Chains A and B, each alone.
Chain A
Amino acid sequence: MRTFLLLVSCLVFAIVSVTGLRGTKTMRSPIEIFPDMVRQAKVKEQAPSYFFSDQRASRYPVPGTVPTTDPVDLPYLNTGTIGDYWGDGIPIPVTGETLKTGRERFEIFCSACHGSTGSGNGIATQYGLVGVPNYHSEHTRQMPDGQIFFVITHGQGLMLGYGANLSPEERWAVVAYIRALQLSQNAALSDVPIAERQRLEGK
């Protein structure tokens, strides 16, 4: 009996030391104990597919086509240009809701470089990112809305585009928010509705 118990405890010890405890960090891939139908031969997002020669399951659009979800019948909304020129004006209704979306998207996608106020002092500039302009400079203030939209979509110079991550409406909302930021740094008392002026002047 003693030898038996000794053998059993040795066996338990061996198993535990080989298999480890629950939750141990490991590089071994997860074991699938009953692998029936767990991995099926279907195309899943972000996984390679051996059906295609380049193994990309997510396909590029066929050259010369655009997704039907793009607003192709509204060229200004979609590109920011009118004919060969930058358009000016925001082609979506600008409401408090729009500015809220714009602000949320701006803080997610832009503030790391441009800073939350758009002064070009985002955190990445402390680590060697150069060339971030200040939105309150004359150059950006004079930029037509359509051109800002285009910069967000395709990038410009040192900045890469964010068109893939933001829908056209969200990009226009960001343009509206940038305009609001610029106004916030350059507003005059005459921009304030008369009824509110007294409150501002502290009277």
Chain B
Amino acid sequence: MANLFGKAANQLPPKIVVGILIIGALTVAGIAYYFTPKYTRVGYMPKQPIPFDHSLHVTGLGLDCRFCHSFVEKSGFSNIPTTQTCMSCHRMVKADSPKLAALRESWETGEPVRWVRVYQLPDYVYFDHSAHVNRGVSCFSCHGEVNLMRTVYHKTPLSMSWCLDCHRNPEYFLRPQEKVFDLGWQAPTGRQQIEMGKQLIEQGKINPSDNCSACHR
């Protein structure tokens, strides 16, 4: 019976402990890295039925966001443009481009184009675009440099901590109201931004809520 465990078995218990520690540390690191909206959402870039290019239409043609997303400053949600909005130009511009086939089909049948949604909050969160874009929060703070994107992708995590980071310290993000829709505008950096932000907060009496009931109602 004395030889059932060899000498090497003496090192087995510490080895098992170290092994479990390594596996445990890796699991924690993996969950911290992957089980967050920074991984699960950011970078989502679905294939759209029409390869619509924001950089061409916004930076190239100088269209304002509100030409298409026309209710973003009037209502809680930002509308995706109707087929008519596109057709006002595309009945004549590139009228028979194969890339626009789905658009023409929608125009003839009256069925909406089935754009794939990129940004989407859980249904238990209440969000309002007009409350933000009329108070000096630019599309840029939440959607990134859409004016340069050839295909829209999910830029920000939309997690609760991300919302609260701004609601608690809005001075890092606010900009003058007339620059909200101008995504090419260079915001000042560092102290200057904070000073401008503080001034805007004072002028507009901006006070984003961090009450649970503001977003979960």
Contacts and interface: CB of A to CB of B under 8 A. Distances in A.
Interface residues of B, number: 51
Contacts of A128: 92-94
Contact of A164 (B35, B77, B82, B87): B82
B47 interface: yes
Nearest to A35: B122
Contacts of B79: 45-46
B47 A107 contact: no
Given A112-B63, A158-B92, A26 B84 contact: no
Contact of B92 (A1, A40, A130): A130
Contact of B40 (A33, A108, A161): A33
Given A124-B61, A124-B93, A160 B84 contact: yes
A139 B154 CA distance: 48
A23 interface: yes
Interface string B58-79: 0001111011001100001101
A25 interface: yes
A107 B64 CA distance: 8
A68 interface: no
Nearest to B31: A33
Given A30-B44, A39-B123, A109 B67 contact: yes
A104 B197 CA distance: 25
A123 interface: yes
Contacts of B64: 107-108
A53 interface: no
A23 B38 contact: yes
Interface residues of A, number: 46
Interface stretch (B22-30, B161-169, B185-193, B204-212): B22-30
A25 B47 CA distance: 11
Interface in A98-130: 107-109, 112-113, 123-124, 127-130
Interface string A16-43: 0001001111111111110001111010
B45 A27 contact: yes
B62 A26 contact: no
B34 interface: yes
For the complex of A and B, 8 pairs with smallest distance between CB atoms: A38-B122, A165-B70, A40-B123, A160-B88, A108-B64, A30-B41, A31-B40, A45-B77
27 contacts: A1-B19, A12-B26, A19-B39, A22-B39, A22-B43, A23-B43, A24-B43, A25-B153, A26-B45, A29-B46, A37-B122, A39-B122, A39-B123, A40-B124, A45-B79, A46-B117, A56-B112, A112-B61, A113-B89, A123-B61, A124-B61, A127-B93, A127-B94, A128-B93, A158-B92, A159-B88, A164-B84
Interface of B: 15, 18-19, 22-23, 26, 30, 33-35, 37-47, 61-64, 66-67, 70-71, 76-77, 79-80, 82, 84-85, 87-89, 91-94, 112, 117, 120, 122-124, 153-154
